[in-house]
Amino acid sequence: MKKTRNIYTALVFIFLYMPIFVLILYSFNSSNSTSTFEGFSLKWYRELFSDSATLDALKNTLILAILSALISTVIGTMAAYGINKMQNKYVKGSVMSVTKIPMMNPEIVTGISMMLLFVFVGVMLGGKSSLGFGTVLIAHVTFNLPYVILSVMPKFKQMDKSLPEAALDLGCTPIQSFFKVELPQILPGIISGLIMAFTLSLDDFVISYFTIGSGFETLPIRIYSMTKKRVTPDMYALSTLIFVSILILLLVSNLVSDKNKEKMSKQAKKITKIVLSSVFAVIAVITLIVFIASAGKETVTVNVYNWGEYISDGSEDTYNTNLEFEKYYEEKLKAQGKDVDVRVNYTTYASNEDLYAKLKSGAGGYDIIIPSDYMIERLKADGLIQQLDLSKIPNFDNIEEQFRNPFYDKDPNEKYTVMYTYGVIGIIYNKDKLAPADLEKIENGEAGWELLWDEKYKGQILQFNNARDAFGTAMYALGIDVNNATDEDWQNAYNKLLMQKPLVQSYVMDEIYNKMESGEATLAAYYAGDCLSMIANNESLGFFYPKNENGEYVTNIFADAMCIPKDAQNVEHAYEYINFMLSPEAARANAEYIYYASPNSVVINNEDYIDYLGEDYDLIYDPDFNNLITANGEEITYIEYMFNTYAYRDLSDESRAKLNSLWEGLKVDSASFGSGIYIICAVILVLLIGFIVYKYIERRRHRRLYWNNAAQPKVVVSRNDFNSTAMYDAVKAELEATKENEKK
Amino acid sequence: MNEKKIIELKNVAKSYDGEIILDHINLDVHEKEFMTLLGPSGCGKTTTLRIIAGFVTPDTGDVVFEGTKINDVPAYKRHVNTVFQKYALFPHLNVYENIAFALRLNKVSEEEIYNRVEEMLAMVNLRGFEKKDVNLLSGGQQQRVAIARALINKPKVLLLDEPLGALDLKLRKDMQNELKNIQRKTGITFIYVTHDQEEALSMSDTVVVMADGKIQQIGSPTDIYNEPENAFVADFIGESNIIDGIMLDDYKAKFSGQIFDCLDKGFNKNEAVDVVIRPEDVDVVSPEKGMLQGVVDSVTFKGVHYEIIVTINNFKWMIQSTDYVAPNQKIGLFIEPDAIHIMKKSEYSNMFGDYSSFSDELEALSDVEALEEEE
């Protein structure tokens, strides 16, 4: 019995801490591979502390957590004090229930409702963008409050009610009584409430996500938005550091809360005092820094909203785009006689849809956004982005002719966007595992999409875990026009994917890195830039663009472009930023960092850049893409043709619904347990109900037995009855016996 | 006793949620007096104390302190201090700091604080306990700290709310003596709340018997015991046989079918009255010599005496006697005129004084309940 108990405990601990152990291990990995541990190194920690954006986010998160924890602790303690003083039981009860509701409420509901409220109030007050640090702070204080109240309340209840009276009696005013007598009693509750609020606020994502504004990014949001590329291992290092700090915090809080149970040694008291005072010192310093930073010179702020990991940010000794811009622009303004600080507020999003939701809600305030092609169409149609004045972007001339007027921004006289990068979807494969015949085909440039439907590679194929791209592969394979698909076309594409399903190992996005690099999977379609990153980590991987039987490239091409939202706060600065991004240095640094194709002629033709890419250059910029072809009587480059033909357009609502429902169908089916999971759930539910009913019946039977048996001795004994019972007789007999003894 | 009034309650009433707790009471407390508020739980004695302390505001009536009305003076400005039922020592402070608490508030110099705390500790015999943690002290020691803490400010009046309730019997007796000594030494007026009649009788200068939010009787312990004003007081203080009787004339009372000589007068002729006879004042004699005759129901040995329940005319008397009588034995009772106390009829008549349903066990049980209710 003891043994099983120990094994059970061990299992629980393994399940709880295994993931964290792996995380800590990989934070010391010398490579960025997630599959193999290649040696101990502190590289990612070094990396972390040189990544200013992440450190910024960390700083923001800490400031937010500390401030919201402090404010909610003060308010929560006052609330608990008030609730505790309430005389009416019913009022007290209902106030407590109302207090608990925000804890039960799904975070998403809280988040959305808060965003609505803030935007609504902001609009009423006439502000352009109402979301910002203040709103996240309010939101965090709101969701922290119940936890603080619930941890302080019991301490009030435990406290001897006459303590405050004793204090008053000895001459304390009510306020003195609170601080001198009541506060020391409830302090452990306050501290544990403070720590709980701090940790809750530290890792909150959902509520922050909805209430955060343009100028502010917290760590969870930053990590979440790193999905365009993948989560970098310096995040493992950061997570490790956070885990360790929380662990320490927890130990300290246990020390403090033990205070009331056990007598604390003098030393422990001293430690607590030191810890508490240092926490307050840190808070004071941070407040001071924030204050000083906010004072000082006038600051020009440019709010940039981009994909995560989508700019050269100074990590691994690269070019720090935002920092360079700040320097450059400060000097430029100085030359104009304006001595100001320039600050780039760089925040990130995870998907086009997130960006759209944010802009649509009116919670904007961004000066630069970098959406993808189809989303630009939608933003333009909704009037959420503004027309650009090209005279303010002289570097626009650096953009190659063929990328100046893409399909989503066709009119040369009415420009809304400046292309940032573009990319093509290709197929990545493992040379060691592919059949020689197929390798030869690829070599000869004859391979196409059908390779992903090849029975030979059953269980080794990866497919996109995103509806549009997955359906895209099937449509390109079938020769269907991705932008004008009929219902029948959609159905055919669906059938094609259904056919592929038995061959597919799994539907993946970021996990593809791991699976391809480790050789677990053999074939997959993915974005060119990412494919080349994988090849750099595993030399047996190869890459090609699929062709149709006529020898033409048929694959998706996509572009991300810089735009200025309608409600931008600093349009002038936004132009300056865009222009800077097109400058030779910044553009090249970003192209090298992101590894997607650049539309910028000064980059493409730069010898150093060509050297830097080496073999990859011809893969990214396939020479065939520049071939001229004639389409609709116009002579255009092949890449222009691809943009016009194969790039995804914004779907109509109807098509989007169709796509989503088909995709759901495919995915639900794809989960191998399928309907099995429902059966399992049903069985568990039935067993549970059966058990409860059995217990109920059993208890009733017991009760009946108990009552039946207990009925006999259970007689109500009254005083009069007692006089005539056997007991009384016994006493009488005893007394008579003693009398007789006396006589003798 | 000093005749100067220090506290006067004038027509004070208080009710919670429509339930009357205090029903227009009037009470004078004199300087240097040891006054006890005595009564069963729920009688309003603690509320009276809290009104004087300032924790409860009366609905109507005035609280007067040394001739000044102090209804609106908050608790922390009144020259009274309280010893709480469960001591209410501050758990985060040690013995010294607990006692010094009031002085620290008044910004007294450290030297004076030291001297006065030491003086207090000497008074309550706790020298050497300065640095002890109050949570680790025994109940008696905590009690002493609470008294020292309340007295350090030299209050004019000390309020004590059942301060000995949580102590065991032996300790309680010692503390009773000690409290009485402290009161004599300091000359501070004590207002003491208890439901223990023995405690009240042995310590007090004046006993105030309360029931149902009203004052039943105010008097010295001997007055209260010997001359109870009504059946409630007679029953609550000590043991009493309370019998329906008729006052035939001055000094002539008739009860249990017999006419007795007594020392009371001033009633109307043939007025119905309550007759109180203490169990220890009745002598057991042979049936022929007795003024009343009855059959012994039960006998319980109590150490000093036997407790005998006797049925006379369907009324069960309790008699305390040092001589043993056997159950079912026929005995006679002899009652001296000065053992008879005549009371006017009151709302409490016929509620007490018959021992037909008497049991030590039941009494003990109801005491426990009373204690729990108070808490």
Do the Cβ atoms of B332 and B289 come closer than 8 Å?
yes
Query: How many other CB atoms are there within 10 angstroms of residue B126's CB atom?
Result: 19
Mean pLDDT of B192-221: 91
The answer to whether the CB atoms of B54 and A168 lie below 8 A apart is yes
Task: Give the one of B77, B90, B153 whose C-beta lies nearest to A163's C-beta.
Answer: B90
In which residue are the tokens 């205090």 written? B22
- List A residues 244-263 in contact with B (Cβ-Cβ < 8 A): 263
Distance from C-alpha of A441 to C-alpha of A448, rounded to nearest angstrom: 9
Name the segment(s) of chain A with CATH classification 1.10.3720.10: 53-238
What are the residues whose beta carbons fall under 8 Å from the beta carbon of A302, sequence distance 6 or more? A325, A342, A343, A344, A345, A367, A368, A570, A573, A574, A576, A577
Residue of B nearest to A160 (CA): B88
Do the Cβ atoms of A188 and A152 come closer than 8 Å?
no
Helix (H), strand (E) counts: chain B: 9, 20
What are the residues whose beta carbons fall under 8 Å from the beta carbon of A383, sequence distance 6 or more? A566
The answer to whether the CB atoms of B81 and A732 lie below 8 A apart is no
Residues of A in contact with B153 (CB under 8 A): 170-171
The answer to whether the CB atoms of B149 and A739 lie below 8 A apart is no
The answer to whether the CB atoms of A165 and B84 lie below 8 A apart is yes
Residue B190 has pLDDT above 90, yes or no: yes
Looking at the fold, whether B261 and B211 belong to one and the same domain comes out as no
The answer to whether the CB atoms of B84 and A732 lie below 8 A apart is no
**DSSP, residue by residue, A242-274:** HHHHHHHHHHHHHHHHHHHHSPPPHHHHHHHHH
**Residue whose C-alpha is closest to residue A147's, from A200, A188, A186, A98:** A200
What are the b/e assignments for A581-595, b being 16+ CB within 10 Å? bbbebbbbbbbbbbb
Do the Cβ atoms of B48 and B22 come closer than 8 Å?
yes
Q: What is the DSSP letter of A566?
A: T
Residues of B in contact with A739 (CB under 8 A): 326
Looking at the fold, whether B101 and B210 belong to one and the same domain comes out as yes
SS3 label, residue B15: strand
The answer to whether the CB atoms of A165 and B82 lie below 8 A apart is yes
Q: In this predicted structure, what is the pLDDT of residue A719?
A: 37
Report strand pairing: B34-38 vs B189-194.
parallel
A170 touches chain B (CB under 8 A): yes
Task: Give the one of A163, A167, A171 whose C-beta lies nearest to B106's C-beta.
Answer: A171
Question: Nearest 5 degrees, angle CA A128-CA A133-CA A134?
Answer: 80
In which residue are the tokens 């000794």 written? A317
Nearest chain B Cα distance for residue A148, angstroms: 22
Q: In this predicted structure, what is the pLDDT of residue A706?
A: 63
**Measured on CA atoms in the order A14, A19, A23, A26, is the torsion positive or negative?**
positive
Residues of A in contact with B133 (CB under 8 A): 263
Looking at the fold, whether B30 and B110 belong to one and the same domain comes out as yes
Task: Give the one of A165, A173, A181 whose C-beta lies nearest to B90's C-beta.
Answer: A181
Mutate to test the interface with A, among B46, B73, B92 (most CBs of A within 10 A): B92
Distance from C-alpha of A182 to C-alpha of A161, rounded to nearest angstrom: 10
The answer to whether the CB atoms of B84 and A739 lie below 8 A apart is no
**Residue whose C-alpha is closest to residue B49's, from A173, A175, A181, A169:** A169
Q: Which fold has domain A425-556+614-672?
A: D-Maltodextrin-Binding Protein; domain 2 (3.40.190)
Nearest chain A Cα distance for residue B152, angstroms: 10
Task: Give the one of B75, B136, B327 whose C-beta lies nearest to A169's C-beta.
Answer: B75
Cα end-to-end distance, chain B, whole Å: 34
B82 touches chain A (CB under 8 A): yes
Distance from C-alpha of B312 to C-alpha of B244, rounded to nearest angstrom: 13
- The tokens for B239 are 């043991």
Distance from C-alpha of A132 to C-alpha of A48, rounded to nearest angstrom: 26
How many separate domains does chain B show?
A: 2
**DSSP, residue by residue, A315-342:** GGG--BHHHHHHHHHHHHHHHTT---EE
Q: In this predicted structure, what is the pLDDT of residue A673?
A: 55
Amino acid at A252: V
- The tokens for B284 are 């057991």
A172 touches chain B (CB under 8 A): yes
Distance from C-alpha of B79 to C-alpha of B30, rounded to nearest angstrom: 15
Q: What is the pLDDT of residues A319-364, one digit of tens each?
A: 888 888 988 998 988 888 888 888 888 888 878 888 888 888 776 6
Report if pTM > 0.95. Answer: no
A727 touches chain B (CB under 8 A): no
- The tokens for B261 are 């000589």
Do the Cβ atoms of B29 and B58 come closer than 8 Å?
no
Residue that is last in its domain, among B226, B245, B271 = B226
**Residue whose C-alpha is closest to residue A363's, from A120, A110, A138, A574:** A120
Residues of B in contact with A185 (CB under 8 A): 91-92
B198 touches chain A (CB under 8 A): no
Residue of A nearest to B355 (CA): A719
Residue that is last in its domain, among B209, B226, B243 = B226
Looking at the fold, whether B205 and B332 belong to one and the same domain comes out as no
Looking at the fold, whether B9 and B158 belong to one and the same domain comes out as yes
The answer to whether the CB atoms of A719 and B356 lie below 8 A apart is yes
B92 touches chain A (CB under 8 A): yes
**Residue whose C-alpha is closest to residue A205's, from A145, A258, A141, A136:** A136
B53 touches chain A (CB under 8 A): yes
- The parent domain of residue B202 ranges over 5-226
Mutate to test the interface with B, among A170, A256, A721, A727 (most CBs of B within 10 A): A170
Query: How many other CB atoms are there within 10 angstroms of residue A662's CB atom?
Result: 19
Q: Which fold has domain A299-416+560-611?
A: D-Maltodextrin-Binding Protein; domain 2 (3.40.190)
B323 touches chain A (CB under 8 A): no
A739 touches chain B (CB under 8 A): yes
SS3 label, residue A239: helix
**Residue whose C-alpha is closest to residue A209's, from A309, A108, A323:** A108
Residues of A in contact with B89 (CB under 8 A): 166
Element (H, E) at B22: strand B19-30
Q: Looking at residue B293, which CATH number applies to its domain?
A: 2.40.50.140
Task: Give the one of B85, B102, B326 whose C-beta lies nearest to A170's C-beta.
Answer: B102
B153 touches chain A (CB under 8 A): yes
Element (H, E) at A355: helix A352-360
**DSSP, residue by residue, B110-169:** HHHHHHHHHHHHHHTT-TT-TTSBGGGS-HHHHHHHHHHHHHTT--SEEEEESTTTTS-H
Residues of A in contact with B77 (CB under 8 A): 171
Residue A454 CB-density burial (10 A; 0-12 exposed, 13-18 middle, 19+ buried): middle
**HSE of B332 in the Cβ direction (CA atoms, 13 Å)?**
8
Task: Give the one of A165, A184, A735 whose C-beta lies nearest to B55's C-beta.
Answer: A165
Residue B290 has pLDDT above 50, yes or no: yes
Task: Give the one of A166, A263, A735 whose C-beta lies nearest to B327's C-beta.
Answer: A735
Confidence of residue B191 (pLDDT cuts 50, 70, 90): very high
Q: Which fold has domain A53-238?
A: MetI-like fold (1.10.3720)
Residue of A nearest to B54 (CA): A169
CA-derived radius of gyration, chain B: 24
Looking at the fold, whether B118 and B237 belong to one and the same domain comes out as no
Distance from C-alpha of A570 to C-alpha of A300, rounded to nearest angstrom: 9
Do the Cβ atoms of B235 and B246 come closer than 8 Å?
no
Query: How many other CB atoms are there within 10 angstroms of residue B6's CB atom?
Result: 21
Residue that is last in its domain, among B226, B257, B277 = B226
Q: What is the pLDDT of residues B357-373, one digit of tens each?
A: 554 544 544 444 444 44
Helices marked H in A86-225: 89-104, 107-124, 133-158, 162-169, 174-177, 183-202, 206-211, 219-224
Looking at the fold, whether B213 and B287 belong to one and the same domain comes out as no
User: What would you measure as the largest C-alpha separation in chain B, in angstroms?
Assistant: 79
Name the segment(s) of chain A with CATH classification 3.40.190.10: 299-416+560-611, 425-556+614-672
Residue B250: phi and psi, rounded to 5, are -55, 140
A721 touches chain B (CB under 8 A): no
Q: In this predicted structure, what is the pLDDT of residue B375?
A: 39
Distance from C-alpha of B293 to C-alpha of B287, rounded to nearest angstrom: 6
Q: In this predicted structure, what is the pLDDT of residue A430?
A: 92
Nearest chain B Cα distance for residue A239, angstroms: 39
Where is pLDDT greater, at B14 or A510?
B14
CA-derived radius of gyration, chain A: 35
- The tokens for A744 are 């003798």
Residue A301: phi and psi, rounded to 5, are -115, 130
Looking at the fold, whether B94 and B236 belong to one and the same domain comes out as no
Report residue B168 CA to chain centroid gap: 18
Query: How many other CB atoms are there within 10 angstroms of residue B207's CB atom?
Result: 27
- Rounded to the nearest 10 degrees, the angle between the axes of helix A234-261 and helix A52-85 is 30
**Residue whose C-alpha is closest to residue B237's, from B313, B348, B163:** B348
**Residue whose C-alpha is closest to residue A141's, from A82, A206, A76:** A76
The answer to whether the CB atoms of B76 and A165 lie below 8 A apart is no
- The tokens for A146 are 């119940």
Looking at the fold, whether B222 and B259 belong to one and the same domain comes out as no
Cα end-to-end distance, chain A, whole Å: 67
Distance from C-alpha of B135 to C-alpha of A166, rounded to nearest angstrom: 16
Looking at the fold, whether B124 and B250 belong to one and the same domain comes out as no
Q: In this predicted structure, what is the pLDDT of residue B336?
A: 87
Distance from C-alpha of A172 to C-alpha of B101, rounded to nearest angstrom: 9
- pLDDT < 70 regions, chain A: 1, 33-35, 126-130, 214-215, 227-230, 253, 255-269, 272, 283, 286-297, 363-364, 669-675, 705-744
Mutate to test the interface with A, among B51, B80, B84, B94 (most CBs of A within 10 A): B84
Task: Give the one of B101, B133, B357 whose C-beta lies nearest to A719's C-beta.
Answer: B357
Task: Give the one of B86, B106, B326 whose C-beta lies nearest to A735's C-beta.
Answer: B326
Residues of B in contact with A733 (CB under 8 A): none
Task: Give the one of A168, A180, A185 whose C-beta lies nearest to B75's C-beta.
Answer: A168
Distance from C-alpha of A169 to C-alpha of A562, rounded to nearest angstrom: 71
Amino acid at B304: V
Element (H, E) at A300: strand A299-307
Q: In this predicted structure, what is the pLDDT of residue B116?
A: 92
Residues of B in contact with A176 (CB under 8 A): 105
B105 touches chain A (CB under 8 A): yes
Task: Give the one of B55, B80, B92 whose C-beta lies nearest to A184's C-beta.
Answer: B92
Q: In this predicted structure, what is the pLDDT of residue A128?
A: 58
Do the Cβ atoms of B149 and B98 come closer than 8 Å?
yes
Task: Give the one of A168, A263, A739 whose C-beta lies nearest to B76's C-beta.
Answer: A168
Distance from C-alpha of B107 to C-alpha of B93, rounded to nearest angstrom: 18
Looking at the fold, whether B220 and B237 belong to one and the same domain comes out as no
The answer to whether the CB atoms of A166 and B88 lie below 8 A apart is yes
The answer to whether the CB atoms of A162 and B88 lie below 8 A apart is yes
Residue of B nearest to A88 (CA): B17
